[in-house]
Every structure is written in C-alpha cells, then in structure tokens.
A and B are shown apart, each in its own frame.
Chain A
Amino acid sequence: MSVYLLGITSAGGLPVFSRKKGNCESLSFSKLGSLNGVHMFGKPLNIELSNTVTDDYAVAWKEFNNSLVIIGIASGCSVDVLNRLLKLVYDAVVLIVGIEEAKSQRNIERLKRELRVCYPVLDRLLDSLDCGDSTNKHSSDIVGYVETILCPENYLIQIVLDSFTECVDSMFSCILVNGKIAVATESWWSLHPHEIRLLLLLAVTENKDISKDIPVFLPYKSPTVAFRFVACSLISDIKVCCLCGSTPSLLDVEQAATQCFKNSTDILKSASHCVPRNFPQSITLDCGVLGLLLINIRLKKYMMSKNPQQTTSRKTSTSSHRLDILRTFFYQAVMNTLILNTQTWQDNNLHQDEKTDKTALDKDNDGIETYWCSEYHKCHAVKVNHNILCVLYNSTTPTQAMRFFSKNILNMLICDKQVCW
C-alpha cells in the first residue's frame, strides 16, 4: 500500500506540504514538479486535468480557489474516495490558516510552518482510504463522515454536557470516547461534517497534554474569523471539546469541566467500556454477524463495530480485516447507490459530493438495499429513511435471510433511546 499527498501553490509551483504513507520512496523534487506541471500544462488549452487511473493506483488533482493544487496518489482505492479526501485535506488547511491565508499565500515559509500543526491530522486522514491493507490501525475511518459511539450511558452524559455547555458559554461542545463522539449539542451537529471530523482529529492527534487550546477557522461556518477549540481530558480516553470565542480562558474551561463532570465519573468509566463494541451489550446479535456499520446520511455520522459477539473465538487479526471489508463495501457499493446526492447533509452544501459524470445515478432511481456475496463473507446494506445499516455476515448466512436480519438489527439500534443516535 502506498499513498502520497502533495500540496503545491498554483502560482509558483512551490510545495507547501508533502505527506506519504506505506512503504514507498519519497517523491523527488523533479517528480513533484512534473506532477504539478502536467496539471498546469493544460490550463492555456482550457484543460483541467482531474484524475488518472492506472492498473492499481488512482491519481487525482484538485485546485482550490486558484491558489492551491492538492494532488493525491493512492493504491487500491477509487478516484471517487480520493477526490473526497482531497476536499477534506483542503478544509484541514483552511482550518489551521484560514481562507485568506490559504488563498493569498503572502508568505510561503510561514504557511508551511503553520501547516505543520495539521500534519498529524493529514496523516490520519490518509488512513481513511481503503487500500485493502489490514495493517491499518484506523480501519474505521470513513472519509467525509464522523464516527460516533453508542454508549448506553449517552442519555445521562447528554444532560451533564448541556450543563457544561451553559457554564462555558458556548453552544458547540461534545464528549469524545476514544476519539468517537458519544454525545454533542445540537449546534455541534449543525457544523459541517468535515469541520466536525477535523476538530475530532485535532483533539485526538495533536499532542499528549491533558488540555489543548488551538485557534481554528471553520472552513464552512467561519473561514475568516478564528475560534478557539478547547479539548480537556476527563478520564483516560474520554474528552470534552468545545468551540469558544476569546473567553473563557482555558483555565476556566478546565474548571467548569471538573465542576460538571466530577459527579459523573462512574458513568464515564462505564461508557469507556463500550469500546471496541461501540454499541450497548444489551443488544444481542446473531453469531453470523461479523461487523456492523450504522450510518445517518443526513448528519453524515456513523458507528462501526467489529466482532460484536465477544464470545466467538476468532483471532483479532481477522476481526480488524472485517472493518476493512465493511468500509470497502461502503465505498464501493453503498456510497454511490444508496446515498443520493440530494439527501446529504444540509441545504447549503447539498452538492458538495455530487457526482455529475455519466456513472452517477439519476435522481429517479433510489437505492434501498444492496449486497455482496464473496467466497469468504457476505455484506448487506439496507436503507430506512436517513439511516443505512451495513452488516458483514459470515459466508454461511443464506442470502435471502440477510434482508430480514439487517432490518431487525437496524430497528433495534435506532429504537434505543439511551444511545442518542
């Protein structure tokens, strides 16, 4: 597996950032220049190169605001997924430096230095490509979507979070369990999925301090004015995050957090036991079910779970591969058939992911279900309103029965009021 990610200024062709993943050589400066060159070459001819597919790789170019060209090269994944990633990468740049700086690039060296902050975020974003590599630690990352966790305690935590939000005088806050959102305020969910995703990554990747306070621009909500993103650890693996203006100070936020959550540590602790199952123990599943992926296509959030049946004596190595299968199934079979362009997220960004080429589905045909049968496993996805459930079954499950199993599981999950789906 190998992935390259490059950011190059449109005007000068200077590299701003360059990331890679997997066992591959770094790109030489001349190759980097050529990659940008082929894109630039077309401009006087009215040509804008968008992507190229080779036998195993996908390569995509995307120019943002006539100022920054982002190039991605990845093995094993589709152009569509790569394109979505590039958009997210640009949003990450804007998140750190703001839209003005990203556009004008007055001082390239300063821009480069500022962007170092988001290198861990960028590296983590590369994990969301489905390269079909089981060594990936973050197989549950899905590009453009926000990961959540369905703890049975979510309902209780929500109450505490609301009081915390009042204390810090911010509308945007959430609780993270193991980097996944357990609960969040309504306003938090009104943020663009890309913004939420990037803030989450910032909270978990930046450094090992207990608390952090980072100035961020919100690429969609506020690309020119910076907010402060504050994240405090409550207990290990559980963080509270909020967006606020110049006040309150970090110290005040930390105090408010201790104040609000000191009586709920037991709840938080039991919530942290939900990992890696990610949904309540009370919901039992057939042992033929190897993995779950529950998606809300309106809010673009999802819950992914492997090996829900803890009793099965399967090796852990195969169970991490399960998430890969589910994710690939989602990218290849679900993302462009079950999720119509018009149904995604909020009105102002309706067409962000819209595919306009001939392979895109027409509006009239609405996908409801889809499935795969492989020699080793079976995947099935069903859509009910805004929710999609993808289930990974073992290969002995009868194909016809999958429909009924999946619908049942979906019902069980979304009817549970405790988990605040």
Chain B
Amino acid sequence: MIAGFSYDSKAKHDRNIKIGDWLKTINNMEVNVHNLDDILQKFINHNEVLLTLQRVAATEVTKEPPINTLNLESAFVQDLLNPKIDPDSPVVLQKLCGYPVGLIYINTDKLDENNKANEDLIYYFPKSVQKNLLCQSRGMFITLHHLLHDITATFSRVSSLMYKEKLVHVVYTKLQNHLLLFMLPDERASVKEVVLMNNQVLSYLDFTYQRIHDALTLKRHIEQIDSFLFRYFARVICNTDWATTEQFMEYQFDQITSNNASVCLFEDLMPVVPTLKLPDEAVTQVDEALSELEASDYREWNEDPLDCQRLFTILGSALFHSGYLLHSHLMDCDLVNIYNFCKFQGIIHLSRTEPVKSLVLWKEVFLSNSTETSNNSQSEERKYLLAIGNGKDLLVAIMEAGGATEPPEDNMGPDAFYVEEVQATLAHIQELGLNIVAERILTSNGGYAIANPMPQINKKKDWKGMGSLGFTKTNLPQNSSKECTSGTKKNEVISILKRRNSEQNVLNEEPYEAYSEGSESQCYSEALSEISDESSSRNPNLRYDSNDEDSDFDDYREGSQISGSSYDLSEVRQLLLSDLGEYQPVQLTSGRQNVLYHFVQFETAEGILVCPLECHLQSNTYDLILNNFRRCCQNIHEIFENTQRFKKLPAKDIAKSLMNKSLIAITEYGMLFECPFIEKDARKAKITYWVIGKLFYEPYPRELFVCYQDGIPQNLADLAFKIGLNCSL
C-alpha cells in the first residue's frame, strides 16, 4: 500500500497515485510482501517503471497530510524558509534604494580610465548601479581614502555626510587593493554604532565564506550574500529584531523622521555572547554532557569494534537556551562568530520567539585562527558547524574533517550518526531539566534583581507576581504570535506548582495530567500548531504527530551512549529542579534597598557578556535611563579603547604616537545624571543615577558598566567585585 511519498518525488506532484492505493504489479511482475525487496532490487538502474495500482481510497490525499493543513507557521518562519515576496524583485529593490543603506566592494586597481565603466565595482548592494547611492558616489570615497592616507599616513575609518537632509555614515574597510564601503543612516546607527555593525557583518562573511574577498567575488556565493544583506538591511531599517520581507514592504520610513531615531545599542553590537548564568550544579551537568559529546567515545556503545576511521572530530560545542549562552567549550572568537552567524541567520530570533520541534543546520565554516593557514596552502582540515535545535534549546558543535580523521571531501554533508549524537546530547540535557532551569532563571531577569526607577523610596518589584495570568487564560487558542506572552505564562504555571508536581512531571511523562482541566485544553490547542509550544521542549517525550523524524529521534535516544550511563537521570533532574524551587534573583548591591538599574560586563577573554537578560520593566523612565546608559557606555568604551590601544603599543612607538596623551591610562569613568520621572503620577519628581564604566586587567581583561541610583552611600568596588565573583565560571 502507498503510505506516503518521498519528499519532492515526482509521483507526489503528478497526483496520479494516492495514499492508500494498493501496489499490484511492477512492470507486470506481481508484487507481494515477500518478493517486494527482490523485485525492487532489479529496478535499481531503471528510470521508468510501470506500476499497476488498485485504488482503494476515495478521497484526494496526495496534497498534504492532514496534520500539515493545521500548520501554524508564523510569518517569520515562513519568510525564513521561503519568502512570499522575492527579495530580488524590483519592488523591493525600489524600496530599498529609497534608504541610504548599502555595501559595495571596489577593486581600486581598476580605476584606470582604460577600464570599462563600473569595472571596478566587484559587488554592490542594493543591486542597482544607478540607484545605489554608494555606487554613484564611490569616486568620492575612493579619492578621500587615498588622499587622507597620503596626507596623514593613516587609513580612513568612517565618513559622515548629509544626504537629503539626513546624516549618513560610511565605514571604510581596506582589504589589500580592495575597498569595502558600508553605509547606514544616523537614525539607525550613530558613528560609533555603525563601525561596530560593520565589524559584525564582516566577521560574519569571514566566518561563513572564509574570506570577505572570496565571499564577494565568487559567483556561487553572490545569491546567498544578497539575501543575507537584504535581511540585514531590512532588519536595520525596520528597527526590529527581525523583519520579514512583507514587514519591510509595509514599513514606512517617513514616519520615523518625526518619530526620532532608534534607541542606542551597545551590548548587542559588541563582539560578545549574552550569557545566562546557571547554578553550579546545572553547569556541571551541561559540562559533563558536552564533554561526553566531544570525547566521541563510542566503545561502550558499539559492541563490534569499528575498523573505519572517523569522519569528524568534534572540536568544541556550546549550548544556548532562548538565544542565550548556557555553557561553551569553544574558543572565544569562535563562540562569538557562531553566535553572530546564528543571529544573522535568524536562529537566535527564532529560538527567542518560538520553540521549534527540530532544527538541523549544517554549514562549512571558517574559524578565524585557521584562516591564515588555509590561506597559505590548501589546508587539509575543514570545519563544519552543526546546529541542532529543539524547543528553545540550541546545541552547536564545530566538527573538523581532515587532520585526525578521514581526509575531507568537497561539500561534505552532515553525517546522520553525528547529527543523532548531538540530538541525543540535547535530549539528554533536556531530560535533565536544564531547559526548565534556564527558563526559570530567564524569567527572573537572568538571575539578577533589578530596581525599578522610582522617584523617592525605591520599592523592589515583585518579580514572581508580575504578569501572573491565571489558568483561565490558557484556554484561549494560542497562535505563534502569542509566543512571547505564553513564555512567561508557562513559567507562572511552573512556579505555581509545588515541588511535588515538578517531580511528577518526570515520573509521569504526562505533565498535563497533573494540571487542572484548563491545561488539558491548552494541550489540545498546542497540538494544533506544529511548531510546538514551549511545553514540547520541557517534555521531550510528548508526541503530537508521528512523522519519520520524530520516531527516529526516539530510537537513537534509547540507543545513544548517554542513556547508557549508569546514573539515574530523574534523580539528577529532581535535584536540579528542587534546588531551584524557590529561586530568587541575586541582589548584587549590598544595601537594604536595591538601587541597581542595569549592568553590563564584557569578558573579552571568554567572549561572553553578562547582564540582566530580558528584563522589560513597564516604565518609560527606565527605558529613558537605559537608552542614556547605552549611549554613555559607547563613550566610555571608546575612552577605554584608547587605554587598551596604548597598552598594546610597542614602547619604541610611544613617542611617535599621535594619541592624546591625556587619554592613555583611564580605567574608570563615571557620570551622574538627573532625569524626570515621566510616569504619569509624579511628573515633577527627579531621579538621579550614575553610569559608571570600569576597566579591569586582573585577572583577565574585563569591562564592567553599571547604572544605579544615586543617593545611597555605596562602595562601587564592592558591587563590581560581587559581580566578578558571580561570573567566574
């Protein structure tokens, strides 16, 4: 009987054959259960066969299996997989050219008059030489870059110009005899921000295509880069975390001129990965799981010794939840690059907004430290990024082919065995309940207590009580656009449950049974959406549909090495969750009242960023303060860069250096601000707060920025030190 069709098969599209038909003969040979395999063997090399079928089913079922008609893919996912509007279409181009954005790559050797017009242009985006502002004005930038080097013996970094009464910034990047220009309007990125954004884009290109030059010259990459840049600019113009093509088309830039500029960005642009700090026991568990994966020790698992060489070595791995790093076994620069890659590919946004059932990503990547060697000779090793997603969790691993393993081939695909191994590790981590732990910490600001700005006496916000929605609301059918709210809702559910219930979750594997009636209907409404809700990540064994992928998933879970290990998972899980039963965010300040508004810590040595995550206080004053905080941080960071630059300067060059000597050794920079309390009640009240940045060298380079209320005598050093202790991994 026809059970289904292989993906994209011709038969599926012809619609002659239907699911449920009986297969009678192949090329007039009668088929039955016993001889099917033999007969199929004979036809391996045949292109055409004659099938005789007996029709049983009366309904048209070739279309899509019924489960897929209920497919509630969000617009975002649809756009990510196959956009409705082609980004290359002239309408989109027209719209894109209306904004002063762009990226062009110029060969400065081809500027001779003998060369054809536009021969110097190697790559340009948006794709219209006529309408692309950068293409039109490139002569100016090329001349300027060259001229200023002649005069000052330094290279240009960024130019600012007025275009149609708008301030626009253009960043220069010189690559041998090529020049790359990157342009954004000031409304979207200030001078300081645009430089950081340029760096992010370039490191993405480096990481994904080995070299920026290759990325922008080789024909085979062009299409990918076009769509990448389209997404990038669309996102920046729309000023959102992610913009689908449709959203971009609907977006009106003109509103913004009256609407003021976008908020200041700071943490998001730095080469660091936002990190969620787990309790120590949880970290140990993740550490163990990742180590086991990386060790690739399959002796116990395989009864017969394998005599073939491995395909890949796992160089390192990292675990993310909801787009935040939980634990990493990667070099700092690789980690940052992977995060960057995931961010630009929309994976971070995906795992932040809607849980997925299964995500497998395989991509050849180029680690920054290996770039140099592969430049010299055709290096043997090849690195691949494997990202496995389930629910809101994402496990990434860097695989190496060549070196210690079998010699790599071109275009190596993912090996099912390794994919399964990584999936198994992720499943194991979820079975331990680590995703619940992470989610719970996340809903309490990533574990740090933050004060809500109040004019006089500061009341600490009751976090647990915030937005507590009852069970009644969960009856509402959910769609993916509600994912954000449902995230917090779920956690209310969990936190309301006593410890006993969370233990039951493990034992019963049917957690919703333990809930009230309301949650059953909730379960139903979730089953409607194939992109499953968060509950799926919490209960990996809950199955709504049984297509092939999912059952595979179960098979290897049982067979994988990790399940074979001796200790009892449920015990560990119980331990982890019970510890968290009364989880309280850490108050970092030592006074009776919490005065801390925000803090940001860069650990550049590890490439990680520590700060309160996802805290959205419903307060305009807080937003105002935070925006100013970020702007000040940009300034402070710029001053610190001078200090760091000077430290790196060789002693003999110090005298020659043109740096301002007053700026070379600043390690702390603070500002006190006063702002009105703009909540409706107390308009006249003022809030005074400090923004302070500190640069540490010991034990490793770190930058710490804090924002706290003035007035309570407090030793900053204490505060900083406490964070420092908390963060030591």
Asked if residues B139 and A41 are in contact (CB atoms below 8 Å), the reply is yes
* A27 proximal to B (CB < 8 A): yes
Asked if residues A358 and B673 are in contact (CB atoms below 8 Å), the reply is no
Asked if residues B658 and A365 are in contact (CB atoms below 8 Å), the reply is no
Bound-state CA distance A391–B189 (Å) is 34
- Chain A interface residue count, CB cutoff 8 Å, equals 64
Cross-interface CB contact of A57 among B154, B187, B664, cutoff 8 Å: B154
- Nearest residue in B to A373 (C-beta to C-beta)? B668
Interface string of A68-103 (1 = CB under 8 A from B): 000001011101000000000000000000000000
Residues in B neighbouring A372, C-beta threshold 8 A: 639, 666, 668-669
Residues in A neighbouring B261, C-beta threshold 8 A: 358
Residues of B650-678 whose CB lies within 8 A of A: 657-676, 678
Cross-interface CB contact of A356 among B164, B167, B688, cutoff 8 Å: B167
* A1 proximal to B (CB < 8 A): yes
Residues of A298-327 whose CB lies within 8 A of B: 321, 324-325
Asked if residues B159 and A365 are in contact (CB atoms below 8 Å), the reply is no
Asked if residues A361 and B631 are in contact (CB atoms below 8 Å), the reply is yes
Asked if residues B669 and A373 are in contact (CB atoms below 8 Å), the reply is yes
- Nearest residue in A to B714 (C-beta to C-beta)? A400
Most central of A54, A375, A400 by chain B CB within 10 Å? A54
Residues in A neighbouring B658, C-beta threshold 8 A: 1-2, 56-57, 75-76, 131-132
Asked if residues A52 and B662 are in contact (CB atoms below 8 Å), the reply is no
Interface string of B245-269 (1 = CB under 8 A from A): 0000000000000000100100000
Cβ distance B177 to chain A, nearest Cβ, rounded Å = 19
Contact-residue size bin, chain B (C-beta under 8 Å from the other chain): 35 or more
Asked if residues A359 and B634 are in contact (CB atoms below 8 Å), the reply is yes
Interface string of A100-112 (1 = CB under 8 A from B): 0000000000000
Residues in A neighbouring B667, C-beta threshold 8 A: 373-375
Interface string of B150-173 (1 = CB under 8 A from A): 111011111111111001000000
* A396 proximal to B (CB < 8 A): no
Cβ distance B655 to chain A, nearest Cβ, rounded Å = 12
Residues in A neighbouring B662, C-beta threshold 8 A: 130, 132, 321, 324-325, 328-329
Asked if residues B192 and A50 are in contact (CB atoms below 8 Å), the reply is no
* A357 proximal to B (CB < 8 A): yes
* A282 proximal to B (CB < 8 A): no
Residues of A23-41 whose CB lies within 8 A of B: 27, 31, 34-35, 37-38, 41
* B136 proximal to A (CB < 8 A): yes
Cross-interface CB contact of A31 among B136, B150, B716, cutoff 8 Å: B150
Stretch at the interface among B141-149, B206-214, B401-409: B141-149
Cross-interface CB contact of A368 among B163, B628, B688, cutoff 8 Å: B688
Given contacts A51-B160, A370-B672, whether A130 and B147 have CB atoms under 8 Å apart is no
Asked if residues B164 and A46 are in contact (CB atoms below 8 Å), the reply is yes
Bound-state CA distance A132–B715 (Å) is 33
* B627 proximal to A (CB < 8 A): yes
Asked if residues A332 and B154 are in contact (CB atoms below 8 Å), the reply is no
Residues in B neighbouring A325, C-beta threshold 8 A: 662
Asked if residues A367 and B148 are in contact (CB atoms below 8 Å), the reply is no
Cβ distance A413 to chain B, nearest Cβ, rounded Å = 20
Given contacts A358-B190, A371-B670, whether A73 and B152 have CB atoms under 8 Å apart is yes
Asked if residues B156 and A56 are in contact (CB atoms below 8 Å), the reply is no
Most central of B133, B189, B664, B666 by chain A CB within 10 Å? B666
Residues of A346-380 whose CB lies within 8 A of B: 356-359, 361-362, 364-376
Bound-state CA distance A133–B665 (Å) is 16
Residues in B neighbouring A37, C-beta threshold 8 A: 143
Cross-interface CB contact of B155 among A47, A51, A54, A332, cutoff 8 Å: A54
Cβ distance B506 to chain A, nearest Cβ, rounded Å = 50
Asked if residues B151 and A132 are in contact (CB atoms below 8 Å), the reply is no
Residues in chain B within 8 A of chain A (CB atoms) = 133, 136-137, 139-140, 143-144, 147-152, 154-164, 167, 186-187, 189-193, 261, 264, 624-625, 627-628, 631-632, 634-635, 639, 657-676, 678, 688, 715-716
9 A-B residue pairs with Cβ-Cβ distance under 8 Å, sorted by A, are A38-B140, A50-B161, A52-B159, A55-B157, A59-B148, A132-B658, A357-B190, A371-B668, A372-B666
- The 9 tightest CB contacts between A and B, nearest first, are A132-B660, A358-B190, A369-B672, A373-B668, A328-B662, A375-B665, A55-B154, A56-B658, A54-B154
Q: A361-B631, A365-B675 are in contact. List 11 more A-B contacts (CB 8 A).
A: A38-B144, A38-B147, A48-B162, A56-B658, A75-B658, A321-B662, A357-B160, A357-B191, A361-B628, A364-B676, A369-B671
